[in-house]
Amino acid sequence: MSSTSQKHKEFVAEPMGEKAVNALAGIGEVLGKRLEDKGFDKAYVVLGQFLVLKKDEELFRDWLKDTCGANIKQQGDCYGCLREWCDAFL
């Protein structure tokens, strides 16, 4: 990724704590709502899923697409955001 969004930078700058799932890069209102409906109501739950998928890009992208209908860009943004957060804090 050539450049990261402001949202991305903010998310990876600190531990996520109790941040909402909307705080993830690539996840806006619509996708956030869909994730919450499926039970992923906090960013850390999505993180949990990311970790259970062994931080694998393809699996995570597929999962995100199936769960909330994220497109390629959104998948990439979310994956990049979580991966960088893990690199920094995990």
Partner 1 sequence: MSSLGDKTAQHISALLDEYGIKHGPVVDSTRSLYEKKLKEAMAKEKKFQPSSDKTYYREEENVTYVYTTPVRNEGSSDRTTYMRPRPEWSEREYDHKTSYSRPNYGGWETVDEPQMYDSPSTYRSSYLQSTPLRGGQDAPKAEKSSRLVPLWVQLVVFLVLAVFLYFVFSNMETNEFLKEIGPQ
Residues at the interface with partner 1 (CB under 8 A): 49, 52-54, 56, 58-59, 62-63, 66
Q: Is the distance from CB of 10 to CB of 88 less than 8 angstroms?
A: no
Q: How far is the CB of 46 from partner 1 (least distance, A)?
A: 10
Go through the chain and tell me how many residues it has: 90
Q: How far is the CB of 18 from partner 1 (least distance, A)?
A: 20
Whose Cβ is closer to partner 1: residue 11's or residue 60's?
60
Q: Is the dihedral of CA 26, 63, 79, 57 positive or negative?
A: negative
Whose Cβ is closer to partner 1: residue 8's or residue 74's?
74
Q: Where are the alpha helices (DSSP H) in 1-90?
A: 6-12, 29-37, 43-52, 57-68, 72-89
Q: How far is the CB of 4 from partner 1 (least distance, A)?
A: 26
